[in-house]
Each structure stands twice: as structure tokens, then as C-alpha cells.
Amino acid sequence: MANFLIKDLREIAKGFPEKLDDWPHIPCPTCTRGALLPVPSSFVAEESVTSMSLHGHGGWEPEWIQGGFHCMLTCRRETCDHVRVIGEMTVGPAREYDVQWEQYLTPTLFLPALPMLESRDLCPSKVGERVDAAAKILWLDPNAAANRIRTAVEVLMDDRGVIRVKPNRTGKVVRLSLDDRIATFKTALPQHSDAADLLLAVKWIGNVGTHEDVLRVPDVLDGVEFLDHALSLIYGTNHDDIKKRASEVTARQGRPGTFSIEVPF
């Protein structure tokens, strides 16, 4: 299943250009399909006091400028909630030839958080809650977000009935690693073997987020995409429904199943 939300988030992770009209498609957290548009009158980008104090330095360049920005975003659907975005502002060489410098805007917080799962309505509520928790801090702390995605896999194993603890050889009750739980899930439900392989990759990304400070937003989005596809494989019914409908059409040799008027053959 294609995750168009992740595609949008990857573009957002590249940052926003100075011109509001050039901002990428931002998915609406209320309807998930509408596009959030910046409200020009609400946009503010300002240089920090510390940055302004450096202007008198003999080696000062525009690239030294740093600050922040914030803006209100609204969906094309009037019934959707407004979203606020806050981020960092820097200055760098312009991508267009008619100006030398331009602002670069890096989002660090969306309130409410942007959606990430196409299969959000399919998965168990507790799994979705862990992903929602990751979405809240994705832009500010990708490593912590990766850890929360890993936790979503643990909760998924709970939902599928995979045990968390078992007695060892000495009879002592020990906690199973997530690796062991995923392996148990794969063995017990071989029809979900592909999903288990995806979940293992999510686990590894989560491990790195827990123990190292090297992940960036696109790395976490990889894990979310793997988890999303695994959820669709485990809980989705669309593929079964499509196979059934295709068999029915074949049995009818392509003829419609019902007619509003009598059609002669």
C-alpha cells in the first residue's frame, strides 16, 4: 500500500522555502487528505537577539543569521482544525539567480501533529496511540520518535497475543527481547512472514534511536513506512476483497452484477 503521507513528510523534511506559495503539500491532521496552506498574514520570521549581536563582527556574513519562524496553517476544508507550525530560520545562498541570499525554514513542531499512518483506522488503538506520540516529537527529536515507533511494535505483538515473558532453563521468568517476539510471531503466523520482516527493520531503527543520536527525520519515516505496510498486511482486508470481487467478475465473464434497466444479450 502506497503511503502518500510519508511522501509528503519527506518533502517537508527538506525544509520550507522563503516563498509561502512554494511550500510543499502538508497533510491535514483532521481529514488527512486535505492540504494545509500557510496564512500569509500569520507568518513571522525573526532573527534572534544573539544573531543580531554578531552583525558588528568584522567577519560577519549573512549566513550567520539565525532565528525562528511561526505560521498558521489552514486546510482547504473549512471544517478542519487549524495547525500551527514553529521552526528554525537560517539564511543561505539563494536557489534563484535574481537574489544572492534567502531564508531557509526548518519546521520543529506542528500543533496538532501531522498524520503519518495511512492504516491508522485499521490498527489497534494502542498501536496508533504510540505512533501519534511519535508524530508529536518527530521534527524536534527524531531519535526519541524512533523509540516510540519501536514501542508501537511491542504493543502490536501484545495485540497479536505474542508473550512478553517466559521461564528460562532455571525456571526464572525472563523478559523476551523484541527480536524473539517478532520471531515467535513469524513462526506462529507464517502468513504474516512479510509483515514480520518489516517489523524487524522497524525494531532496528528504534534501537538506534534509543542508544545513539544519529537518526534524522527521513530515517524515522522509513520506520513508519515499514510499520504502516506491516499493519496493512496484518489487519487490512482490501486485498482479500479485491480478490473476491475479481473472482466474481470472472465468473460473470465481465458482465455487471446488477442492472438498473434490462439489458438484452
Q: Is residue 244 part of a domain?
A: no
How many Cβ atoms sit within 10 Å of the Cβ of residue 16? 23
Q: Is residue 30 part of a domain?
A: yes
Which pLDDT value is given to residue 46?
Answer: 96
Q: Is residue 22 part of a domain?
A: yes
Domain limits for position 172: 117-238
Residue 46 β-bridge partners: 68
In this structure, the answer to whether residues 81 and 131 fall within a common structural domain is: no
In this structure, the answer to whether residues 92 and 156 fall within a common structural domain is: no
Output the CA torsion sign for 150, 154, 159, 160: positive
| pLDDT tens sequence for the chain (265 residues) | 557 899 999 999 999 999 999 999 999 999 988 999 999 999 999 999 999 999 989 899 989 999 999 999 999 998 999 999 999 999 988 877 777 888 999 999 999 999 999 988 888 999 999 999 999 999 999 999 999 999 999 999 999 999 999 888 887 888 999 999 999 999 999 999 999 999 999 999 999 999 998 999 999 999 999 999 999 999 987 666 666 777 777 787 666 776 544 545 4
pTM of the entire structure?
Answer: 0.86
For the chain, the domain total comes to 2
Which pLDDT value is given to residue 3?
Answer: 77
Q: Say how many CA atoms lie within 13 Å of 181 toward its Cβ.
A: 23
In this structure, the answer to whether residues 88 and 159 fall within a common structural domain is: no
In this structure, the answer to whether residues 197 and 134 fall within a common structural domain is: yes
CA distance 206 to 203: 5
In this structure, the answer to whether residues 196 and 100 fall within a common structural domain is: no
Among 115, 147, 176, identify where a domain stops: 115
Coil, strand, or helix at residue 165? strand
In this structure, the answer to whether residues 122 and 224 fall within a common structural domain is: yes
Q: Is residue 255 part of a domain?
A: no
In this structure, the answer to whether residues 122 and 234 fall within a common structural domain is: yes
